[in-house]
Amino acid sequence: MPVIKPVFTAVATAPVATGGAVTTTVTPETSRFFATITAGMIGATETTIPAASFVDDADGAVTTLPALTASDYFNVYINGVLQQASLSTLTTASLVLATTDLTPGVPVQLEISSFAGVTSAITTQPTISAPSITIIT
């Protein structure tokens, strides 16, 4: 007995989403630290400012600097002038500046901004249609 294989032709439509709203809340957090360059910080090839040399916005002593996460960035100001990001390295122990062309008494400001406080929520659910399949033959 021969095998008969049925053949069908069908047309389908893709589901469609309409409406819906997402609310995103960004709560940035900024910390600022201040230090003054001393002769002991200026090395042969770079200037290293230990964390303990900084004070915070409330003039409180600092023991460690914040650890950066993927959503953080920092700015360095030397004598009030913003510096290129590639000229400094930040760790929890120190700020290292790729220069020795500084004199003792120069102020350094470190600004750290964190965007870790980001939340998103669907505030209005979308309406999604069901796909349709029509068999022709």
14, part of any domain: no
84, part of any domain: yes
Q: What is the model's pLDDT at position 62?
A: 95
Q: What is the model's pLDDT at position 131?
A: 87
The arithmetic mean of pLDDT across residues 62-78, rounded, is 94
131, part of any domain: no
127, part of any domain: no
The arithmetic mean of pLDDT across residues 46-73, rounded, is 94
Using one digit for the tens of pLDDT, what is the confidence trace for 26-58?
889 999 999 999 999 999 999 999 999 999 999
Q: What is the model's pLDDT at position 35?
A: 97
Number of domains in the chain: 1
Are the CB atoms for 111 and 31 separated by under 8 Å?
yes
Using one digit for the tens of pLDDT, what is the confidence trace for 88-136?
999 999 999 999 889 999 999 999 999 888 889 888 888 998 888 888 8
Q: What is the model's pLDDT at position 30?
A: 94
pTM over 0.85: no
41, part of any domain: yes
Domain that holds residue 105: 23-121
